[in-house]
Structure 1
Amino acid sequence: MKLAKRVSTLTPSSTLAITAKAKALREQGHDVIGLGAGEPDFNTPQYIIDAAVKSMEEGQTKYTPSGGLPKLKDAVIGKFKEDQNITYSANEIIVCSGAKHALYTLFQAILDEGDEVIIPTPYWVSYPEQVKLADGKPVYIEGKESNEFKVTKEQLEAAITDRTKAFILNSPSNPTGSMYSEEEMRELGEVCLKHDILIVSDEIYEKLVYDGAVHTSIAQLSDELKEQTIIINGVSKSHSMTGWRIGYAAGNVEIIKAMTNLASHSTSNPTANAQFGTIAAYTEDDGSVENMRQAFEGRLHKVYEQLVAIPGLSCVKPKGAFYLFPNAIEAATNCGYDNVDDWVTALLDEEKVALVPGSGFGAPENVRLSYATSLEAIQEALTRIERFIEKKSK
């Protein structure tokens, strides 16, 4: 059977590919250390689990409104007011089956064939694929490593055409962990306001910031920027709820209404008990979120120093998320490989360490390492990487 064009253009996930190969090696009995994880290695806090269980025991197991429970929307509104001092109303919020689904629904709602979305590189792997699924065209601008992988207002201005519909801003970033300053956001925002370009602000890692860094949403910088921005967020990373699939979007009433209409014909509604758990996540606090953040910060400090001491690897120190994104081209070349992808494959075959090649993020000279796993495992993986480089470089 002939498949639709929209799926034939999709690029397979490099993260899933390396994960599948690592799994196969484990099943063969090998001691594989996987550093590709995109989720916290902590269980969901107990008070959230308890709230979800209680909701089911009380019979809250039916359909909910497509855009989310009113009580959950109120909790999201309260979160925005407390964290960013931004005021939203219920008709400016949609709750979706994960932040990924919120992004997918947004692009389906705003893009027509040929509309362009500007995506800084390195990017999260699903951005360009979701744009293509909406018949849009990804337009890439390079976040240079010398600028902590961030793009400038000049780069943004130069990429704009009469088909530009949106600009994606991801801070803190997956895969780099970089964060934009308020001034940098203002400059990018001014360009978007000038050309009437929607800002898609992915803030899923907002709670995971380190060394005194403070997350700022571009929507909180002015009323004009709030009107020009759709915020994408959720509880997957902040509350270790990746499997619960609750995310949301906040912004323009007409866009949110269109997204809600689309969701009513795709998912019907987010899972009911997961919504009740998320209400608890945003209205109660047992310290778990901060404890998890501190654990990631402690790991970052330890493993970063070990990483940058490895010959052939250099790395911009991240300010958020839970990834390191070192440049490995020198190591790959010294080891006799033509590119970093081949080096990553050989590393997995010979030392049983699974990294994610940066080519999947639009940065072929880099690799992504997640420190959302035990400190002992990460340190052992880095020891193996150094051993591999030393052996191959001789």
Structure 2
Amino acid sequence: MVKPVARLFQTPEKNIMAEIGKTASLMENVIDLSIGDPDMTTPKPLIDATTQAMLNGKTHYTASNGDLEYLQAIVNFHNQKFSSNYKLENVRATDGASHATDLAFGALLDPEDEVIIFSPYFSPYKVQVEQFHATPVFVTCKEEHNFEPQKEDIEAAITSKTKVILVNSPNNPTGAVYDKSTLQDIADLAEKYDLYLIADEVYWPYVFNNHEFTPLENMAPGRTLVTGSLSKVFAMTGFRIGYLLGPTAVVDAAGLLNEGVAYTAPSMAQSAGSYGLQNERSLSAPLQDEFGKRLAYLGEELNRLSWAKTIPVAGSIYLFLDISGSGMDDVQFSDYLLEKAGILVIPGQAFGQAGKGFIRIAATQGMDQLQKAVDGFKKLDFSKH
């Protein structure tokens, strides 16, 4: 008899988001508003620059921490865009932000350490913490607070075992953009209790309706790690390229862990990242404008429905819709929506118990498809449920 797999995976929780991703790949004639993969093609100048780099021979391993040009582009970008003060020793290349987050947890966590995560949350966070035999502690963010965490709730969750607070703003799945005062409260608590902060800032360009993105990295620089990704910034999800920024000791520890995980990020993807960051404004602005229009349209139209409501669109590329007025829970609603309207979304429960009664709608299809989706929502009949 073969011994079982690791205890963590012997009786796994249902991974709703992964299952929906598989469903989406197998279905035809469905309006897929589930996974956060923009429908836009990566901007052609970026593709051309990447192709030229490959033709010039950039197809080999880079140094384990990354290609010097890419690392310098990250440092320059953050220092110029966000008035940070990074140096090359503060950064390493990663295979996207999830890889960066995983390395950050691995560099920081010992067994039985606790990590505070704001719920609803990006579902991989939980397993990423648990794989290092640490404990995720969830702090609920409520709709009446626009899904921003409250200082008193965070402080109540801190124990002698707490080591990290994870912050994701603009937020996936809720679309919340944390106010500067909220982030300052979090930074103050980190200083008070000697905690690390991990700032997942994947959606930083996508901020709307007079909201403003505030980088957490400058509020507590000695204890903050930034997990960055270029997937959404430049619609280059398939490139799998990101980075980890933070205190040198933690970034070095993350590098030791990564030697046996991925060694380094793909050289051609790093070439793409270098070009993208050096030309960020011209490449990302059209994407930002398009997502702003899409989310504004979805928010306005779906809020007209008697059984649905959402907080005003603040950021990210998602709409978090309260469907409790339908009389269904979010899993039932998502199944019904797929069956009756051919629209694929993700139930809020995929993002933790605080997501019950909501669905996440990704604005990752063009306006023609979104208009069809809105028509489908409007035709739903809950009189028999």
Q: Tell me which moved more, 341-350 or 93-102.
A: 341-350
Identity over the aligned pairs, expressed in percent?
A: 28
Shift of 1:156: 0.8
Indicate whether 1:248 and 2:243 are aligned.
yes
Partner of residue 361 from structure 2, selected from 358, 369, 376: 369
Secondary structure at the aligned position of 2:122 is classed as coil
Instruction: Kindly report which structure 2 residues correspond to 1:9-24, keeping only aligned pairs within 5 A, or say none.
Output: 10-24=12-26
**What number of residue pairs does the alignment pair up?**
381
Q: Is this contact kept in 2: 1:182–1:216, CA < 8 A?
A: yes
Aligned to 1:107: 105
Q: Tell me which moved more, 46-55 or 154-163.
A: 46-55
- Compared with structure 1, are the counterparts of its residues 89 and 286 closer, same or farther at alpha carbon in structure 2 (3 Å cutoff)? closer
Q: Is this contact kept in 2: 1:112–1:135, CA < 8 A?
A: yes
Indicate whether 1:343 and 2:333 are aligned.
yes
Shift of 1:300: 1.6
Indicate whether 1:202 and 2:200 are aligned.
yes
> What is the distance in 2 between the residues matched to 1:104 and 1:280?
26
Q: Is this contact kept in 1: 2:209–2:313, CA < 8 A?
A: no
Partner of residue 304 from structure 1, selected from 299, 315, 331: 299
Secondary structure at the aligned position of 2:118 is classed as strand
Shift of 1:389: 3.2
Q: Is this contact kept in 1: 2:276–2:283, CA < 8 A?
A: no
Length-normalised TM-score, structure 2: 0.95
Secondary structure at the aligned position of 1:49 is classed as helix
- Compared with structure 1, are the counterparts of its residues 39 and 22 closer, same or farther at alpha carbon in structure 2 (3 Å cutoff)? closer
> What is the distance in 1 between the residues matched to 2:18 and 2:339?
17
The AA in structure 2 aligned to 1:365 is G
- Compared with structure 1, are the counterparts of its residues 153 and 357 closer, same or farther at alpha carbon in structure 2 (3 Å cutoff)? same
Instruction: Kindly report which structure 2 residues correspond to 1:259-298, keeping only aligned pairs within 5 A, or say none.
Output: 259-285=254-280, 287-298=282-293
Partner of residue 38 from structure 2, selected from 32, 40, 65: 40
Aligned to 1:7: 9
Aligned to 2:177: 179
> What is the distance in 2 between the residues matched to 1:237 and 1:261?
28
Q: Is this contact kept in 2: 1:22–1:348, CA < 8 A?
A: no
Partner of residue 380 from structure 2, selected from 378, 384, 388: 388
Query: 1:83-102 CA distances to partner (integer Å, 9 max, x unpaired)?
Result: 11001111111110111100
- Compared with structure 1, are the counterparts of its residues 377 and 111 closer, same or farther at alpha carbon in structure 2 (3 Å cutoff)? same
For structure 2, the residue ranges without an aligned partner over 5 or more in a row are none
Q: Is this contact kept in 2: 1:176–1:318, CA < 8 A?
A: no
Length-normalised TM-score, structure 1: 0.93
Indicate whether 1:239 and 2:241 are aligned.
no
Shift of 1:386: 2.3
> What is the distance in 1 between the residues matched to 2:194 and 2:339?
49
- Compared with structure 1, are the counterparts of its residues 353 and 151 closer, same or farther at alpha carbon in structure 2 (3 Å cutoff)? same
> What is the distance in 1 between the residues matched to 2:168 and 2:91?
19
Q: Is this contact kept in 1: 2:59–2:267, CA < 8 A?
A: yes
Shift of 1:285: 4.8
